Structure 1
Amino acid sequence: MFREIPESDIDRAQELAYLVFHEKPEDELRKRHHELLAGCLRIGAYDAETLVGMVAALPFTMAVPGAELPCPSLTFVSVAPTHRRRGVLSGMIAELFARCPAEGWPMAALWASETAIYGRFGFGPGTYGATVEIDSREALRLRIAPDERPLRLVDPAAAPALLGPYYDRTRSGRAGRPERSEEWWAKEWMVEQDPDDEDFSRPRVVALGAPLAGYAVYRTKDGDSDRPETSGLVRLDELEADTPAVAAALWRYLTSLDLTGTVRAWGRPLDDPLLLFAADRDQVRVTSTFPALWVRLLDVGTALRRRSWAAAADVVLAVTDAAVPANEGTYRLTVAPGAPAAYESVDAAPDLTVDVRDLSAAYLGGTTLAAAVRAGLATEHTAGATDALDAALRTPLLPHTVEEF
């Protein structure tokens, strides 16, 4: 049976998640998890009265091109080891999707711990991230002049009040970034101890400019005392800047911290200007790239009508969606910059046949439908239709987020 998990079962739900993910969190983190679960939609799978599965949906609002949309963010996805491969996850996802119209949710998102799972439910990788590693034993060499205004360290307790308005003002510049409450800043970004690695310092915040023009949130870790050749590590969690010069000043600061030899930034955007203004790419290396935020259009028509468009296009789409049949059909999509989009059911030959998974991946502007066509995942029936739609979907900056949930 699939139904909403009552608040009285939250402790049971937590224990199920810890069982599945092999975790044993400390009391403070358990308390935080309880708070998160208490504030979201919780779908459970019950075998008689035993809770054997859970999917939680955090009620986020996400920046999409030219707009913001309510976007539940799936987390704590758990199936008891005794009930795997019995349709439990499929049943919970179906129950969640069935509730989304009443909640007014046209899209959903998640971070996939196992990427092979979620494509079959219509999720596609909407953003990508890069892990960047800098050898900071030598000064960072730059092709541009850094902003020379003074930097200042900010008390983490005061950081939400300073960084929050800046983040709110700038987050629409890259689609995929969710809204952050003051509580989210304090309890997720400025938490004293990193729950995944207690050897890291408390969060450090460095800011530039008044009014604020950029900031970096980072933690540090000592080198190995048993190996004198090792140096300390700087882990960058977030860096935002108004201009390349501001970004250069922040990167220069991070790479000049005493007693450190490596700066590691997980989840940078693939179009990070650092990768161009760094003078030596042997010093600044991309060590991995990966799908980051997975996106699922739950109401294709609403999602397409709400976003903005970079170019005009008039395309007939045949959309397939095995999990949400209401999305299936043939529709004419007519868009233009600055104008409301039209998306209407038509009885006409399609220009492009596309599955909701690939349409979802392209929705934020981070991937192209032409790539799906080349991979045999979508079919172009009218020459030029895919290129026209990709041009309309394009955004000035690639979508990106480091917001995990």
Structure 2
Amino acid sequence: MARLDRLARCIRDTQRMDGDFVMRNYRKLNSGLGLAIVALGTLAIAGCWASDAEEKPASVGQPEGGHGEEGGGHIEMTAAERSAKGVKSIALGMRGLTGEFIAPGEVTANRYKTAQVAPRISAQIVERHIVRGEKVEEGAPLVTLSSVEMAEAQGALIINDKEWRRVRNLGRDVVSEKRFVEADVARQQAHAKLLSFGMAEQEVAALLKTGDASKATGRFLLFAPQAGTVVRDDFTLGEFVDPGRVLVEISDETTVWVEARLTAEQAQRIAVGAAARVKSSVGHWEEGKVIQLQHALDETTRTLMARIEIGNADDDFHAGQFVDAAISVGAGDEALALPESAVVLMDGAPTVFRIEGDEIEPVSVETGAASGGWIEIASGVAEGDEIVTEQTFLLKSLIQKTKMGEGHGH
């Protein structure tokens, strides 16, 4: 179409030129120059065809930098840029294709990687060191408390420690064996009492190092027993709290649980270790597996709970979210397979996006059976190729824009 437009414009220009020439030489036309003028117009039109033919190779030539296989075209995108745009990939590999069913579920914290922090004695909260949502390392200070019981225990340790040092310096030759043992035991008991009250070992050591009874103020810290995210901090400065009151809860959210609710018939079809996947609120499916099966029906819902453990490195899942869980049943043949989200249609053909270095190129593939959110790849790419599994429609749009630009950038 563009070629015909250029030809039409050329012909119109030629007609205007020939018309002007004819008017200036009207009398000469009757004297035999008419044939020459007509020939001149014919040559001009032929020139239009020649000019268009010369331009044609540039419009269909490949862009600088080459094309990917099959569909053609590629884009440059570094690993950092892919991460920022949410482009994820996996290495193409063998996978057993099985059936699955969908069940509703709720995300919960991984209780095996969650810790609660509570005082062991009555105390008053005097200082906060964390806020909810904050990530902390193991041993990080959480809360400072103050307690009369702790002050008495701290003072008793300092007294018993000094007495023990005095008896030890005198030696067994000066003091009786009974006195020597009593002093030693009294110090150890005072030390153990502080630890049992919740004072950390490093704080006890610091107190003993000073040897100053004025430091027995009753203040002590609660420390993080593990690394993770603060998911609970239900306390107020100045508040008096009883023993066992949970002040802080820390959870390692790199993995979470999903408690899927199954009918009795569904529960009979799966076993611990069955593959599963869970859909996040942004449409991303995360792979996991069934780690536990409940053996008693819920009296209200008459369902059985299947506990699924999934990775949560991208922080897509949080306790309390309702999700859909797809659980695999049965066993199938192994085949090269990709998540269904990895395959898109380009120019009417199933296509995947292969990553090689910083280049992403579309590759036409032949697909086979689909099951459990995965689809067999019969040909087009090889085992081990890095294939994009998320943001494929973004890449399709970028490549199509690139190809459109190639066709009109002349």
Instruction: Establish whether TM, by shorter chain, passes 0.5.
Output: no
* Greater radius of gyration (CA): 2
Higher relative contact order (CA 8 A, sep 6+): 2
Higher helix share: 2
